[in-house]
Amino acid sequence: MKKLFVVLAILFFAESAKAQLFSKERLSNIENFDQKKLSWGYYLGFNGFSYKFEYYEQYQDDNTDIQVTGETGFNVGLIGDIRINDYINIRLEPGLSFNKRNLIFPGFEEEKDFLREVKSTYIHIPLLVKLSTKRLNNFKPFIVGGFSTSFNLSSNEDNPEDNSSGQFRSISSHLNYELGFGIDLYLFFFKFTPSIRGVFSLDDELVRDENPNSAWTGNVAKMSSRGVFVNFTFQ
């Protein structure tokens, strides 16, 4: 996923450079918008989440991998942007994201045992650095990266019941790093920005069952979220 983001970002910058060499300047919309020291906005978007599982060495050849399927989720939030110079901005993007993942555990026959529906509501707080190219007419490509904290309001971390009672549990907060790219489009009255960003958890999020030999969690060394955000920003 990270390699894909890098390749697509390079293509964005290559197209921008080509346009700057061969395109004529046209009348620019909201020409002085990027000269503001502080700017504000909001975003709406979609997400897709999964889990990356790592297993203890003694279980890696047992064909016991946990399967993960996800459903499209929803994002909404605010943006605070600080201009450093023409090419660098610092952004704070607090928001909410909603998503659902289905975990399928091997070795069980009944659905109540092999299926866990994991619904998550995150308070998501990223602090990002935005690196932009020179603006050309009414568009400007950029890449973005940084760190974020996610607070899972549906984690079940403190639930005394575990998978033996049908309850899947994860920790309530974790740290992520984020990488992405997008393009600023300068319209007549506002700036519109479509972007795509990968979110990669740095923490082990799994709360293990009380039984250390649990068929659900006993073989898992680490469980980390992986997500893709597609956001549409209005400033």
Give pLDDT tens digits for 29-67. 888 888 899 999 999 999 999 999 999 887 766 667 899
Q: What is the pTM of this model?
A: 0.82
158 in a structural domain? yes
Instruction: Please tell me the total count of domains within the chain.
Output: 1
pLDDT class for 150, splitting at 50, 70, 90?
very high
pLDDT at position 203 is 96
Cβ–Cβ contacts within 10 Å for residue 174, how many?
20
Comparison of pLDDT for 59 and 78, the residue scoring more: 78
30 in a structural domain? no
27 in a structural domain? no
CB 174 within 8 A of CB 205: yes
29 in a structural domain? no
Q: CATH no. for residue 68? A: 2.40.160.20
- Return the beta strands (E) in the chain as ranges: 38-55, 67-83, 88-92, 95-104, 115-132, 139-152, 173-186, 191-201, 220-234
Q: Domain of residue 175: give its range.
A: 2-21+36-234
pLDDT at position 63 is 67
Average pLDDT, the chain: 88
28 in a structural domain? no
pLDDT average, residue stretch 86-106: 95
pLDDT at position 76 is 97
